[in-house]
């Protein structure tokens, strides 16, 4: 397998309880669901969520026949599995997003929310997503916006050195990146995606406001303001809908997984592992979670 950029690893972390449950982020959770449902086709055959974690948004995918929850952390996927069950509609896959373990042209819909900010090489990730995307499908991407009001204010007050107006990504903490909207569009276009509508999200991500204004009212106001994205994108979070590249790739009905090493399609031939017929690498299956993070 070729050398890839570093990947942020949440293996064994308490991300769900430390960041979401009981942490005052109900507002963020709800406004992200509003934006997702505005941009995501409501029904389809195959959907993948890239960086699905513990499955926070999985209940929004009821209209899809087969849903892949993909993450680098097996422990977070286990939390998702414990909550969602082993019903066959959800497929839990651990792996590296720079070497996705899927055949070309597989997914009708791709969703990526709150994870691009960990991408040390976003263009390489977009290139890999373009490979597994079914032509004519939809990619819903959320990214951390470099050009947000807080960053602009801090820059003007000389409380931060980096400019929110330059296009290059900024790594403000190790493996945590903010992106300029123009740069994101350029990279998507260069990898064959046709960029469509955008929504601005989390207009009121400010502790004192969230503590004093009812959450329902904030969600309603944010929902109305999301459509102002064509005028200005100054919120900390931006959602973009893109159409998949028109490359003509379409997976065969009997193909799904492919070896991360050599991209050779293969079928499951054992309850506990999958072996590539080309490079003979074995990948584990642990209680229903496919482990393409590291070979056996």
Locate the domains of the chain by residue range: 15-291
DSSP state of 228: G
Q: Which of 45-59, 60-74, 121-135, 248-262 has the lowest mean pLDDT?
A: 248-262
- 3-state SS assignment for residue 283: strand
Q: Which H helix or E strand runs over 153? A: helix 149-156
Q: Which H helix or E strand runs over 130? A: helix 122-132
pTM listed for this prediction: 0.96
Q: For residue 253, with 0-12 CB atoms within 10 Å meaning exposed, 13-18 middle and 19 or more buried, which class applies?
A: exposed
Assess whether pLDDT exceeds 90 at residue 1.
Answer: no
Convert the pLDDT of each residue in 121-155 to its tens digit: 999 999 999 999 999 999 999 999 999 999 999 99
135: left (phi over 0), alpha (psi -120 to 50) or beta: beta
DSSP state of 17: I
What integer pLDDT is reported at residue 232 of this predicted model? 86
Q: Which two tokens stand for residue 272?
A: 């506990």
What integer pLDDT is reported at residue 41 of this predicted model? 98
pLDDT-derived band at 160 (thresholds 50, 70, 90) equals very high
Domain spanning 15-291: CATH superfamily: Vaccinia Virus protein VP39 (3.40.50.150)
Convert the pLDDT of each residue in 65-101 to its tens digit: 999 999 999 999 999 999 999 988 999 999 999 999 9
Convert the pLDDT of each residue in 171-227 to its tens digit: 999 999 999 999 999 999 999 999 999 999 999 999 999 999 999 999 999 999 999
Name the CA dihedral angle for 211, 57, 102, 280, rounded to a multiple of 10 degrees: 80
What integer pLDDT is reported at residue 2 of this predicted model? 56
Phi, psi at residue 245, to the nearest 5°?
-55, 145
């Amino acid at each position: 397998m070729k050398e890839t950029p570093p990947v942020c690893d949440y293996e064994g972390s308490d991300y769900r309880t430390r960041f979401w449950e009981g942490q005052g982020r109900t507002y963020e959770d709800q406004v992200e669901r509003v934006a997702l449902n505005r941009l995501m086709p409501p029904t389809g055959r195959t959907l993948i969520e890239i960086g699905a974690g513990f499955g926070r948004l999985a209940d929004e995918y009821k209209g899809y026949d087969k849903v892949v929850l993909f993450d680098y952390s097996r422990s977070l996927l286990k939390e998702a599995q414990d909550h969602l069950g082993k019903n066959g509609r959800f497929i839990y896959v651990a792996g590296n997003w720079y070497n996705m373990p899927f055949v070309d042209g597989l997914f009708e819909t791709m969703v990526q929310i709150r994870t691009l900010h960990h991408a040390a090489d976003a263009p390489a990730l977009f290139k890999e997503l373009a490979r597994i995307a079914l032509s004519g499908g939809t990619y819903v991407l959320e990214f951390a916006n470099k050009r947000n009001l807080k960053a602009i204010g801090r820059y003007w007050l000389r409380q931060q050195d980096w400019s929110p107006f330059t296009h290059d990504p900024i790594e403000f903490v190790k493996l945590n990146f903010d992106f300029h909207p123009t740069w994101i569009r350029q990279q998507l276009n260069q990898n064959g995606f046709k960029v469509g509508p955008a929504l601005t999200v989390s207009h009121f991500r400010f502790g004192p406001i969230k503590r004093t204004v009812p959450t329902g009212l904030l969600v309603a106001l944010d929902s109305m303001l999301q459509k102002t994205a064509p005028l200005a994108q100054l919120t900390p979070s931006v959602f973009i809908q893109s159409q998949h590249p028109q490359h003509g790739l379409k997976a065969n009905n009997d193909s799904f997984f492919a070896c991360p090493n050599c991209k050779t399609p293969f079928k499951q031939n054992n309850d506990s592992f999958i072996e590539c017929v080309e490079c003979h690498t074995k990948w584990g299956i642990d209680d229903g979670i496919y482990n393409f993070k590291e070979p056996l």
